[in-house]
């Protein structure tokens, strides 16, 4: 279990819960991993990828390590490392693995913040009955939704927000990635009331310098938009 940090103020001790978010996207290539690297640095957080399907030689955890330069102790082991780049339920079936919600528990962060990166989008199945959204509910984390600008992204973003709201899953906000599309942001905000936390531009090269630039430019706005909220 994740620990609670005691902070003394005079004769009173307050207990501060670490800030934790589950990062999901409107589709597989929405930019979750780049966004997670940005969030890890901007929020000084640990990182955890519960399920990695494919790319086991250099997966999302390795990418975030390389892009952020963060100490290795801030990264937590993948719970299910699956060989095939496919939906987790199918990749698990090929590996002879049965993924269950009970397999997952939040890692010990010693009171530090935590970014949890999901696999694919909300309704990607992890077994025959349950999806990534069920994993969010199981872990009890608020969600940051990553939306990428492309033809059809308005529909995918609205559907994702609607599903989260109907399930009662807390939505901390949206991060738009991959450039500038003011009308997309305007219409989604108008129809849902969900304003963007930040809008991240496309990086020419995703590396340590690129993530540093994002944190420098957008980190303060992100922290202000989140309002220092904790769970």
pLDDT of residue 30: 87
pLDDT of residue 163: 98
Average pLDDT over residues 31-45: 96
Could you give the CA distance from residue 231 to residue 227 in angstroms, rounded to a whole number? 12
137-170 pLDDT tens trace: 999 999 999 999 999 999 999 999 999 999 999 9
Quick one: CATH architecture of 18-226? 3-Layer(aba) Sandwich (3.40)
pLDDT of residue 126: 97
Mean pLDDT score of the chain? 90
Burial 41-62 (b: 16+ CB within 10 A, else e): bbbebbbbbbbbbeeeeebbbe
192-228 pLDDT tens trace: 999 999 999 999 999 999 999 999 999 999 999 998 5
Residues with a known catalytic role: 49
Domain residue extents for the chain: 18-226
Q: pLDDT confidence of 14, banded at 50, 70, 90? A: very low
Could you give the CA distance from residue 170 to residue 159 in angstroms, rounded to a whole number? 15
Instruction: Name the percent of the chain lying above pLDDT 70.
Output: 91
Q: pLDDT confidence of 17, banded at 50, 70, 90? A: low
Could you give the CA distance from residue 32 to residue 61 in angstroms, rounded to a whole number? 12
């Amino acid at each position: 279990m994740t620990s609670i940090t005691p902070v003394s103020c005079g004769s009173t001790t307050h207990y501060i819960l670490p800030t934790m978010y589950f990062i999901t996207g409107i589709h597989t290539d929405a930019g979750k991993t780049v966004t997670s690297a940005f969030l890890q640095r901007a929020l000084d957080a640990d990182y955890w990828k519960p399920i990695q399907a494919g790319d086991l030689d250099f997966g999302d955890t390795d990418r975030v390590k390389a892009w952020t330069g963060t100490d290795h102790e801030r990264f937590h082991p993948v719970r299910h490392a699956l060989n095939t780049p496919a939906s987790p339920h199918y990749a698990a079936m090929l590996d002879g693995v049965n993924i269950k919600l009970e397999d997952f528990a939040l890692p010990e962060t010693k009171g530090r913040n935590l970014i949890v990166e999901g696999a694919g989008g909300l309704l990607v199945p992890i077994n025959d009955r349950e999806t990534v959204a069920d994993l969010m509910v199981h872990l009890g984390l608020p969600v940051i939704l990553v939306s990428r600008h492309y033809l059809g992204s308005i529909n995918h973003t609205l559907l994702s927000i609607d599903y989260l709201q109907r399930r009662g899953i807390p939505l901390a906000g949206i991060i738009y990635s991959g450039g500038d599309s003011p009308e997309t942001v305007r219409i989604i905000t108008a129809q849902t009331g969900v304003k963007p936390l930040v809008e991240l531009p496309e990086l020419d090269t995703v590396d340590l310098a690129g993530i540093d630039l994002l944190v420098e430019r957008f980190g303060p706005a992100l922290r202000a938009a989140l309002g220092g909220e904790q769970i």
